[in-house]
Amino acid sequence: MSTPSGQCAVVVGGSVAGLLAARVLAEHFRQVIVIERDALRDAPLVRTGTPQASHAHVLLQRGRRILSELLPGLEEDLLAAGALLLDFAKDVAWLTPAGWGVRYDSELPTLSCSRALLEWAVRRHVVRLTGIHIQSGFRVVRLVERQGAVVGVTIRAARCSGDVGQTLDAELVVDASGRGSAAPQWLQALGYPRPSETTVNAFHGYASRIFRAPSDPARDWMGLYLQPKPPSMRRLGILMPIEMGQWHVSLGGAERDYPPTDDEGFLEFARSLRSPILYDAITAAEPVSPIYATRATANRVRHFERLSRGPAAFLVVADAACAFNPVYGQGMTTAAIGALLLREHLRASGSTTVSRAERAWSARFQTRLAAINRVPWMLATGEDCRFKGSEGRRLDLELRVMHRYLDRVVALTTHDPAVRDVLLRTFNLLIPPSRLFHPSILAKVARQAITLRSISLTDRQDTQNMHTGDVSLAIMDTFTRRRAPTDGSSPASGTG
């Protein structure tokens, strides 16, 4: 680690993104102060500021790798605290829209635990680092600006409603205060424009509960994911094993098909999923928590990168800048990717504080962050568009063709471990989605297509409206649509 060149940086929000930002800022600032609204306790608890921790969280592979890189020993601590290491491809029975995903031995070990445990472990690691101090029980109420640069924040005890605040000086302020961030209002109060926003909403709702997992030697899975199958089936179910021999179960419904929060309704919703496997599992399990619900699931990006004017020395990261529909499990991982970007951006500015004090430096960061958020955004909103009731992104021809192609790829993943591996790696943000168009996969999709014989008249009509390049995909789709596998009631074990 190089010698810090800056005096003090302030991070707003002490959740996953704020802690990871603090971790990398500590390489460049003698002091990093994290302001967290909640009064934090040294225990893995769901707190008011992170209500999403009541819902099942999956840490994608890319996120896991970055966390291990930034916080060596974290994974060992989590395992010691009861987290489990799963083979994502083998241990999670996954009902795709085309049927059960083939299960195989992969190199995708996944850490499974509650979000509360994960955040607590991250916090314990981060506070041990030199120069980092978490001031909990205080909220940031405004930015302090001088001559076009943010030079600090005003904080106030979270329980205090008066106008008296205390000012903290900082050379850089990083906002990691989540979906509800007040950054647009703070900028406006200083005379800057608010960032424009793009929202794509499939109106997903979640209801979640923790169960004590009963032992069952015959069970051949550790986790379950029952995907929806739009447009006909809007419901999903996730069951992930977490510490203390428990299951974290989340049910979800798109297009406002919200899961109920009463005992009976929750079970009925589970029973209505595409396979009875999750329902059967939880009816045999003892609930150990209330049922929690959320509807805060819209994909929403605030375009800080498009601001015509903004202050220097102020950055906005993670959910505060771009929040995703949580169904795709991308939030913590994109926060981690953003932390790596912040480190790179700080390193590129060298040991001087001069460039950090220039507006262009902050603007460039937001532009780079927007660029790396583009892939997860495309994945999440592209899938959300499959729901007819989605708002915010047009289901245009290009996207329809893409859906058809992906449907064919997903159909292959029910029996082809090599294709499933590529899909899982894409989903885990390890490789770019373009790998799904690798010639080997295109060839398999084509082969799947030419084993069938005819094109129906209606489908021919579809192809007439497409560009030449799209026709082959449409034809493949036409050929294969009629033999799409039906859902099974039990997950297939693969050959690997």
Ligand X SMILES: Cc1cc2nc3c(=O)[nH]c(=O)nc-3n(C[C@H](O)[C@H](O)[C@H](O)COP(=O)(O)OP(=O)(O)OC[C@H]3O[C@@H](n4cnc5c(N)ncnc54)[C@H](O)[C@@H]3O)c2cc1C
List of residues contacting ligand X (CB under 6 A):
12-18, 35-38, 49-50, 52, 55, 57-58, 139-140, 176-179, 182, 206, 294, 296, 318-320, 326, 329-333, 335
Say if residues 248 and 271 touch (Cβ distance below 8 Å): no
* Nearer of residues 134 and 402 to ligand X, judged by Cβ: 134
* Nearer of residues 320 and 475 to ligand X, judged by Cβ: 320
* Nearer of residues 330 and 362 to ligand X, judged by Cβ: 330
- Residue owning tokens 């029952």: 226
Supply the minimum distance, in Å, between the C-beta of residue 205 and ligand X. Answer: 9
Supply the minimum distance, in Å, between the C-beta of residue 241 and ligand X. Answer: 14
Supply the minimum distance, in Å, between the C-beta of residue 411 and ligand X. Answer: 25
* Nearer of residues 140 and 406 to ligand X, judged by Cβ: 140
In angstroms, the Cα distances linking 482 to 403, 486, 488 are: 16, 11, 17
Phi, psi of 430 (to 5 degrees): -90, -30
* Nearer of residues 66 and 93 to ligand X, judged by Cβ: 66
Supply the minimum distance, in Å, between the C-beta of residue 139 and ligand X. Answer: 4
* Nearer of residues 46 and 449 to ligand X, judged by Cβ: 46
* Residues 1, 92: Cα–Cα separation, whole Å: 39
Supply the minimum distance, in Å, between the C-beta of residue 443 and ligand X. Answer: 33
* Nearer of residues 96 and 480 to ligand X, judged by Cβ: 96
Instruction: Report the candidate in 427, 317, 328 with the shortest Cα–Cα distance to residue 369.
Output: 317
* Nearer of residues 56 and 285 to ligand X, judged by Cβ: 56
CA count, 13 A, side-chain hemisphere, 45: 9
Supply the minimum distance, in Å, between the C-beta of residue 2 and ligand X. Answer: 26
* Nearer of residues 85 and 484 to ligand X, judged by Cβ: 85
* Residues 136, 38: Cα–Cα separation, whole Å: 6
* Residues 358, 399: Cα–Cα separation, whole Å: 40
* Nearer of residues 61 and 390 to ligand X, judged by Cβ: 61
* Residues 406, 430: Cα–Cα separation, whole Å: 18
Supply the minimum distance, in Å, between the C-beta of residue 231 and ligand X. Answer: 23
* Residues 453, 266: Cα–Cα separation, whole Å: 45
Determine the length of the chain: 496
Supply the minimum distance, in Å, between the C-beta of residue 413 and ligand X. Answer: 20
Token pair for 468: 């030449």
* Nearer of residues 206 and 279 to ligand X, judged by Cβ: 206
* Nearer of residues 150 and 475 to ligand X, judged by Cβ: 150
Supply the minimum distance, in Å, between the C-beta of residue 86 and ligand X. Answer: 14
Supply the minimum distance, in Å, between the C-beta of residue 204 and ligand X. Answer: 9
Supply the minimum distance, in Å, between the C-beta of residue 373 and ligand X. Answer: 12
Supply the minimum distance, in Å, between the C-beta of residue 380 and ligand X. Answer: 11
| Beta carbons within 10 angstroms of residue 466's beta carbon | 17
Phi, psi of 144 (to 5 degrees): -110, 130
* Residues 284, 270: Cα–Cα separation, whole Å: 13
